[in-house]
Every structure is written in C-alpha cells, then in structure tokens.
Amino acid sequence: MIRFEKRPQPSQIFSIATPLLAVLTTMFFGGLLFAILGKDPVQSIVTIFWEPLFGEFAFYYRPQLLIKGAPLVLIAIGLALGFKAGIWNIGAEGQYIMGAIFGAGVGLAFYPTESIFIFPLMILAGAFGGWLWATIPAVLKIKFGTNEILVSLMLVYVAEQFLASMSLGLLKNPEGFGFPGSRNLQQYDSAHNADIIAGSGMHWGVVAALIAVIFAYVLLSRHSLGFAIRVTGEAPRAARFGGVNPSRLILFCLGISGMLAGLAGMFEVAGPAGQITIDFNVGYGFTAIIVAFLGRLHPIGIMFAGLLMALTYIGGDIAQSQLQLPAAAIQVFQGMLLFFLLAFDLLTNYRVRIGLNEVAT
Amino acid sequence: MTTPLLSLRGLTKAYPGVVANDDVSLEIGRGEIHALLGENGAGKSTLVKMIYGLVKPDSGAMEFSGASFAPQDPRTARAGGVGMVFQHFSLFDALTVAENIALGMENAPAMSQLAARIREVSESYGLPLSPDRIVGDLSAGEQQRVEIIRCLLQDPKLLIMDEPTSVLTPQEVSILFETLNKLRSEGTAILYISHKLEEIRILCDAATILRLGKVVGTCVPAETTARDMAEMMVGTTLKTPQRSGATAGEVILELNKLSLPPASAFGMPLREVSLSLRKGEILGIGGVAGNGQDELLGALSGEIRANEGMIAYKGLDMASMGPNARREIGLLSAPEERLGHAAAPDMSLIENALLTGAVREGLVKGGILNWSAARAFADQIIEAFDVRTPSAGNAARSLSGGNLQKFVIGREVLQRPDVFVVNQPTWGVDASAAAAIRQALLDLAESGAALIVISQDLDELMEISDRFATLNEGRLSQPRPAIGLSVDEIGLMMGGAHDEEVTRG
C-alpha cells in the first residue's frame, strides 16, 4: 500500500527538485507521445530543447528566446503575486490585449509627430489599460463577491472583440488599402520599441521583465505588503487577524498583475508585433499561468521558467517545420509540463510511504 | 474473580520518532467505568484507537470477552461490541438527528422505524432528543447525545468516551453521568478518557494513568486525591498559579450594547453585550462553545467591525479601527484556533512573530521588514515562554499544541498589552504548559493590564478570574465576583437563566 504522509516541514530539496523532475518526466512522456505519432523521440526532444540554443541557426533563435520569454515573465510575475495570496487572475490575456490597444492608441494619436515623450506615454497608457481591465473583476469581487476567475476570464473574450473592432475601425491604418490592422509602429520611430542592441532581441520589454523580477523579489521577501500577500495565501484568517485588509489586497494584486500584463502587451505591439491586428494575441496571458506555477510562484524561478517555456515554443516551432509534428502535439507537450509539475508538487509537502503494516489513522 | 471484559497485554505502538504506547497493559471488567488519564501526548488516543480498530499495534495482544481480539477496522470493532464517542463530533449540520444516525449504520432500518428506536433508547437512558431536529440547531450537549445514541443502538459491551464533558454545561454533565451510571448497572463497561480529575473521582471505579506512552500507575479514584493523580500524570509536583489580590483600577474598556449579526448560517449573533473592564482585573467569560465566543473576540480584535459607540477603549471609539490600529494603542488579543487563525501553520515562527508583533515591536519601518529584529523577537518569545522547538525557523505546524499555544500567548504578553483578550488560552494544552500560561496571565494582570479570558474550562476561570460572566446565545450575563460562586449558580448562568433566578435559586 502506498500512502502519503504530511511532512512536518515543507521539504527544501523537493521545492527545488520538483521543476527539474517535472521537466525530465515531460521529456520522457513527451518522447513517448512523439514516438506513438511515428517520430523519432530522441530527435524530437533534441530539436525542441537543443536546436534553438546550440543548433545551426541558434544566432536567429537565441534573440527569439528573449522576445518570447519577456512577455511571459512580465505577465507571470504579476499573476504570481495574486496566486500567492489566493487571488486568481485568469484573464491576463485580456489585460495584455487592452494594454496593447491603449499603448498603441496613444502612440498612433501622435502620428506622425516625433518626440522622445511619446514612448514613455505609451508605456503609461499600456500599464493603465491592463490595470483598468483587471480592476473590473477586483471591484466586482469586493462589492458583490463575484468570482474573479470567471469574471477575468470572460473579460478576455470581451477584450478580443474590442481588439477586432479596433483593428477594423478606429485604429485601422488609413493607408492600409482596406486591410484590417493599424499602422505599423515599427515604422514610427518615436513609438517603436526597438532592440536596445540591434539583433539581440533585447527590447524594453526585456528590461521591464527584469525590473519586475527584482521588484517582486524584494516585495515578497522584504516588504510588509509581500508578507501580507504570503500570509493571506497561507492562512486567510490569520492574515485578517494580523491586520491585512482583504479588499485592498484584492485591488493591489489584480491591479498589479493587470498592469504588468498591459505593459507586456504594449511592448509587444510596439516592438515584435508592430501593429494592432485581429489576431494580435497569441496566448501569452494563458501560458504565463503555466510559467508562474512552473517557477513555483518565485520571481527567480519564474524568470527561468519563462525562458524554458519560450524554448519549448521556439523548439516546438522548429519541430513542427522540420519533423512535421502537429501543433496540437506541441501543446499537449506544454500541458504535460504543468501536469507533472503539479503532480510532483505533492512531494514538497508529503512523503511517500510504501508499506503494508500500517493503517491510516 | 471472573474474566475481565477487555484485557490488554503489552500493547506497543511506535510512530516515526515517538513511541506512542510502550508495553501498555490494562483490564476492564463488565460494568466497570475505567478512567484513562494522562496529559496530551501521553498516548491515550493511540491506545483507544487500537481498541477501536483504527490503529494496529506493533506488538502485544488484546482479549475481549475471553477471546482474542484484533479488529481490522472500526466496523469489526463495532461488530465485536465496542462503541466509541469521539471528542469531535462527525455530524452533518444540515441533516436531522435520525438521518445522521442512519448514515453511520451498516444496515439502516426504515426512517420511521429508526426514529422510534431513537426515541426508545433516548427515553430509557434519560437522554432527551428528538429524531426530527436538525443537528445544526442542537447544542453541543445535544449533539453529543446523538453520538451516544448512535453507539447505544449497536448494543455495545464496551463504550469508549473521549473527553465527553469538555463541551458540556455542569447540568448536562450530570445528565450524562446518570446515563453512564445506568449503563454501568446494566453491565456495559465504559472506558472514560478525561483530564478532569474531580469528575473521575465521582464517576470512575478504577483509573489507569499514562505518561509518555507508559502506564505509570493505577488507582481507585474515589480514594485518591485529585492532586496526587495530577502529579502522577505530570510526573512532577505541580505549581498552583499564585496571585496577590490587587485592587482593580480605572475602567479601560467598555462595551455598550455590542450587537453583531451572525457571520454564517449556523453562526451566533452577539446581542447587546455590555461590560466594563478595569485595569488590573481578569474577567472570565464561560459558556458552552458556539455561544458567541469567537464573535466577541473578533469584535474586540478588530477583525469584525462593530458600529459606532459600541466599543470604547481608553475613551476612544473603536468602530473605525482595524486590528493593527488597536494593537498600536495596546489592545491585543489571541484567538482560540492556533493553526490558521492565531498563527499561519506553514510559516516559520519568525514570520508568525511578525504577524502580530510588527507594530508594537517596530519590526517594520516604512514598509520594509526587519527580519533580524523579527528573529530576535521570536527567540525572545521562545526563551521567555519555554517554547520547545529546534529553532525559530521551524514551521508553526511542526510544534506540539502546547508549545505553539505558549508561543501564541507569549507573543502577545511580551508586547505589554494594556488590554488582552484571549479565547481558550489552554485548550488542548498539557497540565504544566497550562499552569505556565495561567501564571503568565496572572502576572500580566498584576502588572496593571486588564484581561478578558474566554474559556470552556470552568476550573481555569475560577482559578484566575476576579469577575465571572457567561455567554449564552450571544448574550452576556451580568459579571459577578468569582469568589463564592457555586457550581450550581455557574451552571444556571451558562444555561442562560436571568440574574434574578440565579439569586433566587
């Protein structure tokens, strides 16, 4: 008989080893999945994990790692702050879209004026857009006790409709020959989120992600607000007893995660994506949920998890084109990663006992 | 002498790091009420769990009615004639008494038949209980009757009762004792777990005393003093808390018709609770659990906000003040539930010291946490209150109940409160830790602080209180001087009788 016994203290070793174990197990079962699909499992795994970093075209893929990793990290950091307090913002995708629309909207409003103040203004607008969209579920939760999971998720679909309307209407490029989509911000210097070092993939969003990591780390380990977040997640009654105001915490956590998601959207639209289009969003807001948990809700962990996730994205793309693996298989592979992570997470707080002579008490 | 009903020989059970029972032997005869005495962690629960088939012994043998007895699970134990009433009830609030009992039965008869059986048993054993009532509306004493009747319907030869009186009023206790005496006269044996020594002296025929998993003595309770039994349990001489009768000073806290709506469907509202508390006095508040104790503490700690004019502390209206604002001006509290309310279970003692100590101990400056100061404060609590833990970095849940309770009380006491409100200061705490906690509360009052001690333990309240009041259905009785109150008077106060009746009775 196998049973789980609660550890008196959470295991330090397993809290670090769990992500590694999850990655290894995902490689194994992912390989199995690819083998069943008739592909060479070893080659598939190597393609996904090795090719982007050290393969022949690594010079092209490495910057991609930062471009794809930055929004994931930026969003996941915000989500993790809420998740740690038991506040579940599932709608980062919507906040990401709103940040992009607000940011791009402000930039386009100034077109074609050139000024160094335009880009900072766009950053503020992007952060505001995301914050606004996340504050809706926060206020509804505080005032009416609605479930923030449902409200924030449903607002994603509202944001998507808004995005479609913007790219077909208000923000449509007047010189775009009727095609949907805004002007390309990459061709508007004052609004372009260009690489800081050309060709490195290192745009302002990467800088923002790094700042967010440091900010979250300091907040959680050194600041009373971070302490309030952690106590609320661990023991809500104890937090209330300790003087934490739950309503203010909901406003802060949802607000900051929306803000960061909005920033991510703004940096994306002004940089790698370049324009507002109907299919601007590609699921960063949802993938960031996986990234947050893969990084164990720890800022440094999230940084690595974001890069790992970006790697599977890029590696997955390569595997699709080189080995003709179906896109769905890659998504299953990414899903496996979260599944195994959560499964192995049990080992942090429980130890496995194998034996016959004891009956659970 | 006839063969005993149950005999245990050399029962041993070890868990990782601790031997819960070490070579325990005891015998219980038919129609005998046998007390099992011991502090928390002495191994009483493990022993009865082995008899009830919840735990298997590592070695040793049991005989029941002369035959070898090794129950695989509680079902076989019940089939063999062993019934058990747990300290914590396993009842569904939203179901009726009969439905709850049917859920626990192997082959439940039709509901009307069962209801008739319940009425029959409840009448013959003097346990008034209607099968149609919803369990959530019953008092703790009535809920216990549901558990007892559930056992009696199985016709047990041995009934195990784990701390049955901890939730009862004195009147309910005497009803229970009548029932137990009737069972005894019919030949049912009872294994009675308790640490209330006076009760055991009145009720039990024999007692076995456990300490650290070993049998350290047996005695005939009627012929042994409570103090001797307590010292056998603890293994040392007990110190009785001491205080010199200081005179109460000026009024520091005043409740004026404090009323609160219930927090949940089965919660209790507070109804016009009024009192005034003076410096240097301890007001003891008794009453059966669930009569507004948690709500009163919440209203005073600031977790639940009352309306304007209801709570005045040092002349200030507390309506708009949250927990930390109240701490800042010296109103501190310690709730009943250690894990999850007074302390965050998975966080370290350092973090838990920070939880309530941040304001008064200056552990946060401009939002920045001072971890080294928090660690020093945690170490100070551990040192001053003799908290047994490997280090302050250990998680709160890794501590035993008594040690965590000492930490939780110590954390507040060391912050020099002017008013300290505490709910169940020694619940589930061993005798020596309880004595230490009570002494700390007395010392605090001595130094001029005013205390409100809410507790289910009447002996404790009588020992430390200057004045005594009870909570019943969210109403607070008029506080009366504790000295000279008789058990009958207290019982009537707990049952919600008005003052006139108490004086008349």
Q: Locate the chain B residue with the closest alpha carbon to A9.
A: B395
First to last CA, chain A: 14
CB contact under 8 A, B397 and A238: no
CA distance A145 to chain B (A): 15
User: Is A229 in contact with A299 (CB distance < 8 Å)?
Assistant: no
CA distance B321 to chain A (A): 10
Element containing residue B303 per DSSP (H, E): none
What confidence tens digit (pLDDT) does each residue in B247-272 have?
A: 678 999 999 999 999 877 667 899 99
C-alpha–C-alpha distance, residues A187 and A270, integer Å: 10
Domain annotation for chain A: domains and CATH numbers = 40-324 (1.10.3470)
- Whether A231 has its CB under 8 Å from any CB of chain B: the answer is yes
A173-182: list long-range contacts, CB under 8 Å, 24+ apart. Answer: A173/A275, A180/A277, A180/A278, A181/A275, A181/A276, A181/A277, A181/A278, A182/A104, A182/A108, A182/A275, A182/A276, A182/A277
CB contact under 8 A, B323 and A225: no
Give the torsion through C-alpha atoms of B483, B489, B493, B498, to 10 deg: -110
- What amino acid occupies position A186? Q
- Whether A219 has its CB under 8 Å from any CB of chain B: the answer is no
C-alpha–C-alpha distance, residues A316 and A7, integer Å: 38
CB contact under 8 A, A241 and B323: yes
Residue A222 burial (CB count, 10 A): 15
Pull the structure tokens for residue A355.
């034996």
Torsions phi, psi for B339 (to 5 deg) = -85, 115
Torsions phi, psi for B284 (to 5 deg) = -90, 135
When pLDDT is averaged across residues B425-442 and rounded to a whole number, the result is: 86
The pLDDT value given to residue A132: 98
For residue A235, the chain B residues in CB contact (below 8 A) are 339-341, 343-347
Q: Tell me how many residue pairs between chain A and chain B have CB atoms under 8 A apart.
A: 84
CA distance B367 to chain A (A): 5
The pLDDT value given to residue B501: 41
* Comparison of pLDDT for B143 and B484, the residue scoring more: B143
Q: What ipTM does the predicted assembly reach?
A: 0.84
Entry field: residues in chain A: 361
- What amino acid occupies position A340? F
C-alpha–C-alpha distance, residues B137 and A5, integer Å: 36
CB contact under 8 A, B368 and A239: no
- For chain A, the helix, strand and coil percentages under 3-state DSSP, each to the nearest 5: 70, 5, 25
Tell me which residue in B303, B339, B359 faces A241 most closely, judged by beta carbons.
B303
Tell me which residue in B302, B347, B369 faces A231 most closely, judged by beta carbons.
B347
- Whether A350 has its CB under 8 Å from any CB of chain B: the answer is no
CB contact under 8 A, A240 and B323: yes
Positive or negative torsion for Cα A268, A111, A107, A202: positive
Q: Is the pLDDT of residue B194 over 90?
A: no
Question: In this prediction, what percent of chain A has a pLDDT beyond 70?
Answer: 98
C-alpha–C-alpha distance, residues A218 and B55, integer Å: 47
C-alpha–C-alpha distance, residues B158 and B189, integer Å: 5
Domain annotation for chain B: domains and CATH numbers = 6-234 (3.40.50.300), 251-504 (3.40.50.300)
Torsions phi, psi for B394 (to 5 deg) = -75, 150
For residue B74, the chain A residues in CB contact (below 8 A) are none
Residue B496's pLDDT band (boundaries 50, 70, 90)? Answer: low
As to burial, measured by CB atoms within 10 angstroms (0-12 exposed, 13-18 middle, 19+ buried), residue A145 is: exposed
For residue A245, the chain B residues in CB contact (below 8 A) are 322
C-alpha–C-alpha distance, residues B237 and B256, integer Å: 44
What confidence tens digit (pLDDT) does each residue in A225-258 have?
A: 999 999 999 999 999 999 999 999 999 999 999 9
Torsions phi, psi for B317 (to 5 deg) = -80, 130
Residue B239's pLDDT band (boundaries 50, 70, 90)? Answer: low
The pLDDT value given to residue B468: 92
What confidence tens digit (pLDDT) does each residue in A163-218 have?
A: 999 999 999 988 888 888 999 999 998 999 888 888 888 899 999 999 999 999 99
Q: What angle do CA B138, B142, B145 make, to 5 degrees?
A: 140
Q: Locate the chain A residue with the closest alpha carbon to B46.
A: A361
